[in-house]
Amino acid sequence: MKVSFIMQSYLGDYPNARSNPRFKFLRAVQSVIDQNNKNSELIIISDGCEITHDLYFKHYKSNDRVKYAFVDKDAPKMYENNKGSQYYRGFPRQIGIEMATGDIIAYIDSDDFIIKNTVDVILHMWNQPGDFNAILTNTWYVNSIVKSIKSDKNLKFKKENIVIENLPDSTEWCVCLPANENVILKSTSSICHLKNINIKWEDVLVESGESSSEDNVFVSKIIKQKNFVINNKNPYYVVCHQHGVWDI
């Protein structure tokens, strides 16, 4: 089986945006290229982003494991406010699924990264017995962010002295595991599913005061099918940015 990673990329500025987006984009892409198991591909979908477009053609055009598409802006920008509502783009990820040649679809945000054995972990999970079409996986949170978020009662973390091996830059980081299942279920970037799953990404306009982004809508559809499993033993995804909460 082959794993296709999809990265929707908009590296422009927006409220509570991550810092240093070019560096983090390159870090994210490299974490897929550097997988121990090369039976994978990365599909970068530029969400109308010229920065992403330029970086792809400068660094990855000749890499046959990295595919690319540019989606024109025929709708409001990601995170754009519209009379108190906010617009979230999901359609570019659907384009990525259509381009994928892998059996399994996984996702990576342009400001996060995955550890080097991610493909092996995903393939191992899919070799487990059971009839399911999606897997929701815990995500790693770097320990240095805990002080800045522990005052948020909606984010509950259990501190673990665990070191992730094979991190970019050979850095050994102590991490935290989410202790609340709601965090697991809402962590869209740690979802993987069969390519032929009968669920599609869509653009979402969120009214003021609501919290359902395009990620939450997609995950909710998977949960409603009741044909998924939760992997809380082999996390492989490192979350490096949360809007207005932390940024590393």
Domains of the chain: 3-137+188-238 (3.90.550.10)
Percent of the chain with pLDDT over 70: 71
Cα 2 to Cα 12: distance, rounded to the nearest angstrom:
31
The residue type of 163 is V
Whether the per-residue pLDDT at 125 is higher than 60: the answer is: yes
| Residue 53 phi, psi dihedral angles, 5° rounding | -55, -50
Backbone angles phi, psi at 33, to 5 degrees: -60, -35
Q: What is the model's pLDDT at position 76? A: 59
Please tell me the distance from the alpha carbon of residue 37 to that of residue 50, in angstroms, as a whole number: 31
Band the pLDDT of 12: cuts 50, 70, 90.
Answer: confident
* Terminal Cα-to-Cα distance of the chain (whole angstroms): 33
The answer to whether 27 and 64 have CB atoms below 8 angstroms apart is no
Q: What is the mean pLDDT of the chain?
A: 79
Collapse the DSSP code of 179 into the 3-class scheme (helix H, G, I; strand E, B; otherwise coil) and give the result.
coil
SS3 136: strand
pLDDT digits (tens, 9 = 90+) for 182-211: 333 233 348 999 999 989 999 888 776 566
pLDDT interval class at 6 (50, 70, 90): very high
Would you state the pLDDT for residue 83?
Answer: 63
**DSSP annotation of 86:** E
Q: Percentage of the chain with pLDDT > 90?
A: 43
CB 243 within 8 A of CB 155: no
Global confidence as pTM: 0.81
pLDDT in tens, 145-185: 444 444 444 444 444 444 545 444 434 444 444 444 333 32
Whether pLDDT at 65 is above 50: yes
Helix (H, G, I), strand (E, B) or coil at 120: helix
Residue 231 pLDDT: 81
- How far apart, in Å, are the Cα atoms of 190 and each of 134, 138, 141, 187, 219? 11, 7, 12, 6, 10
pLDDT of residue 150: 42
pLDDT top residue among 22 and 169:
22
pLDDT of residue 140: 67
Question: What is the spatial order of strands in the sheet that 113-114 belongs to?
Answer: 113-114, 237-239, 139-142, 174-178, 157-163
211 Cβ contact partners less than 8 Å away, ≥ 6 residues apart:
none
Average pLDDT of span 133-140: 84
Of 18-27, 47-56, 73-82, 166-175, least confident by mean pLDDT is 166-175
Cβ partners under 8 Å of residue 168, min gap 6? 27, 30, 31, 34, 113
pLDDT at 142 over 80: no
Q: Which residue has the higher pLDDT, 61 or 248?
A: 61
Q: What is the pLDDT of residue 215?
A: 84
The closest alpha carbon to 248, from 18, 26, 13, 25, belongs to: 18
* Residue count (the chain): 248
pLDDT at 244: 62
